[in-house]
């Protein structure tokens, strides 16, 4: 079934958008990593390189 109102296409899109917006607001990197429950900041950096949804 197709939903025209769906904003996100994949399960992790909201998480990626959250990371990108935190980076855009100039939040410090380590608290972002903790909020996302990532083991390493490099994982968070990969999300930051994604496009905002």
User: Looking at residue 17, what is its pLDDT?
Assistant: 84
- Is the pLDDT reported for residue 2 higher than 70? no
What lies within 8 Å, CB to CB, of 41 at 6+ separation is: 29, 30, 33
Percent of the chain with pLDDT over 70: 72
Q: In the numeric block, which tokens belong to residue 5? A: 């109102």
Q: Is the pTM of this model over 0.85?
A: no
User: Looking at residue 13, what is its pLDDT?
Assistant: 80
Average pLDDT of span 34-43:
86
């Amino acid at each position: 079934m197709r939903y025209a109102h769906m904003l996100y296409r994949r399960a992790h899109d909201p998480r990626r958008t959250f990371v990108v917006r935190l980076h855009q607001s100039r939040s410090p990197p380590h608290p972002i990593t903790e909020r996302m429950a990532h083991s390493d900041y490099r994982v968070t950096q990969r999300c930051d390189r994604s496009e905002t949804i």
